[in-house]
Copies of this chain bind each other. A is one copy, B any other.
C-alpha cells in the first residue's frame, strides 16, 4: 500500500493534480471559480469596470442576492476591488485586480472549450440517453 501509483502515464498534463496537496489547492479554487456565477461575473468584469446593476443586467438571470454574494466572495479572495462613491444615489464600481485579471486567461480557456465542444457534448448526451432509454 506504499506505492500504488501507475507509472505508465508520465503525466500528459504539465502539472500533476493527483498529489494530495495539489488536490486541495485545486478544490479550493474550484469551489470559488466553479460556482454558478463566478466565471460569468469575472468574464464580464474582464471587459472593464462595472457597476452593480450593470453586471446584473449583463448576466440577465442572476438574482440580486447571488450577485452580492459572488462579488463579496471575489472581493474577499482579492480578485476584484469594490469602490464605493458616497453619492446619492450610491454608486459602487467593481473591477478586476491584477490577480483577477490573471484568472481571466485560464477561465477564457474553459470558455473557449465550452463553446467549441458544446455541440459535441449535447450530441453525446442525446446518444447516451437514447441508448439508456432503449436498454431499460
Contact = CB atoms under 8 A, between A and B. Distances in A.
Interface residues of A, number: 73
B17 A111 contact: yes
A84 interface: no
Contacts of A30: 34, 36, 39, 110, 114
A40 B18 CA distance: 7
Q: Which of A109, A118, A128 has the most chain B CB within a 10 Å cutoff?
A: A109
20 contacts: A4-B57, A4-B58, A6-B47, A8-B47, A13-B105, A13-B107, A16-B47, A22-B111, A23-B59, A25-B115, A26-B110, A26-B111, A26-B114, A29-B114, A78-B123, A105-B113, A106-B112, A106-B113, A109-B110, A110-B110
